[in-house]
Amino acid sequence: EREEPHYFGAGPALLPTSVLQEAAYDLVNYQGVGIGIGEISHRSKQASEVIDNTKANLVSLLNIPDTHEVFFLQGGGTTGFSSIASNLTASFVKKTGRKGRAAYAITGTWSKKSVEEAQRLGLDVDIVLDSKKVDGKFGSIPPVDKWSIPTDLSNTSYVYYCDNETVNGVEFKEFPFESFPGVEVVADMSSNILSKRLDVSKYGLIMAGAQKNIGLAGITIYIIKKSLLEQADDATLKALEVPLSPIAVHYPTVVKNNSAYNTIPIFAVHVVNLVLRLLVKNGGVDAQQKINEEKASILYGALEKFPQVYELPASTDARSHMNVVFTLNGDLDAEFLAQAAERKLNGLKGHRSVGGMRASIYNAVSLHSVQELTKFIIEFAEAHS
């Protein structure tokens, strides 16, 4: 039991209370078998059902076409940074016999970390966009004519971007797919998966850690184009100095074993499945997107009304619908946070690298919570204008 929290933390983040209650029960005794979901074998009928059900719910919520496969890995988004680099390069080698060069668009903290990891592993990389270099700070997504895209893309193994930059509050409306013909597009959607409609068919790979919109830390969702599961063999990769994927994150091996090549944290997958079931029941992604748009609109609307008090570092057309980043003019951070806490509005402190405030309004954060926060933002501004 708990009072409904108004919690705006960036991740781990709020989950629906009913999901947590059901999960807590299942942790003790799952489907009346007398032991909990975390205690049964990861190869049992129950565990396989959890995996299959979760995949089926993702397929239906996101209209994932037959050309694509869903699988799960441990290790969070950060493990995605490295596993994407090694696995997708191995797919490119299979197709072309060449190592190729990976293209990265950098629009904030997480895409930057991802490209650094690819370089650490020894990939050759083309930075097709670094928005900080274009604008002096992370906060916008410059139009594609400001990007540096190689004219010949035949040696580009994949192009990577982060759909929603959690720290900087910057979100793509639409990736410029048409500027990368024939190149596999890879997206990190850790902080906005299932928050809005998505055309999966346009992607080679989508990766999303669960702990923001859809579950607990411990499991990461991958949606991959099946043709990319064809990889060159180890000897060929070694000869080309392509890093081998550790076996636990070797995509073909994981897929062949229905995500249970090694012990999968089945409780974490079960929680995702409970979240997905609730989302289906509440009208799916379309209904959720509508609510999310309303939440973002009232919050940004209130902040914009008081430019003497609040600043919005992200440019209007690139504002995230999930992470609303704002700063306070003057030395008001501590006072703002203290007064917010008095109203039980919590989790608002911005990321240490950018400071200020960040209200994360993921799927589980209700319109009511956002209305309460908006009320406070207006009253605080009126008292300080």
Residues that bind ligand PMP (CB under 6 A): 11, 76-78, 110, 162, 166, 188, 190-191, 209
> Which residue, judged by CB position, is nearest to ligand PMP in the bound state?
76
Distance CA 223, CA 205 (A): 6
What is the identity of the amino acid at 242?
V
Evaluate whether 185 touches 177 at the Cβ level (below 8 Å).
yes
| Residue closer to ligand PMP, measured from CB, 168 or 374 | 168
Residues with Cβ within 8 Å of residue 316, at least 6 apart in sequence = none
State the minimum distance, in angstroms, from the CB of residue 190 to ligand PMP: 4
Pairing of the two strands 156-162 and 101-106 = parallel
State the minimum distance, in angstroms, from the CB of residue 308 to ligand PMP: 31
| Residue closer to ligand PMP, measured from CB, 76 or 142 | 76
Catalytic residue among 26, 130, 163, 188: 188
Clarify whether 110 is annotated catalytic: yes
Catalytic residue among 99, 110, 295, 349: 110
State the minimum distance, in angstroms, from the CB of residue 186 to ligand PMP: 12
State the minimum distance, in angstroms, from the CB of residue 356 to ligand PMP: 17
| Residue closer to ligand PMP, measured from CB, 110 or 310 | 110
| Residue closer to ligand PMP, measured from CB, 310 or 362 | 362
State the minimum distance, in angstroms, from the CB of residue 162 to ligand PMP: 5
Check whether the bond before 265 is cis (ω within 30° of 0). no
- The structure tokens 């089926």 sit at 56
Nearest to 336 by CA among 354, 349, 323, 352: 349
H-assigned helices in the chain = 17-28, 45-62, 76-96, 109-120, 131-135, 234-239, 251-256, 266-281, 284-304, 333-342, 367-383
Clarify whether 349 is annotated catalytic: no
- Residue 24, SS3 per DSSP: helix
Catalytic residue among 55, 99, 196, 212: 212
H or E element: which one contains 72?
A: strand 68-73
Q: What is the DSSP letter of 248?
A: G
| Residue closer to ligand PMP, measured from CB, 78 or 119 | 78
Clarify whether 212 is annotated catalytic: yes
State the minimum distance, in angstroms, from the CB of residue 110 to ligand PMP: 4
Q: What is the DSSP string of 293-358?
A: HHHHHHHHHHHHT-TTTEE--S-GGGB-SSEEEEEESSS-HHHHHHHHHHTTEE--BPPTTT-SEE
- The structure tokens 């940074």 sit at 81
Q: What is the DSSP letter of 140?
A: -
Distance CA 160, CA 351 (A): 23
| Residue closer to ligand PMP, measured from CB, 113 or 277 | 113
Residues with Cβ within 8 Å of residue 161, at least 6 apart in sequence = 104, 105, 107, 111, 172, 175, 185, 186, 187, 188
State the minimum distance, in angstroms, from the CB of residue 177 to ligand PMP: 20
| Residue closer to ligand PMP, measured from CB, 112 or 270 | 112
Active-site annotation, residues: 110, 188, 212
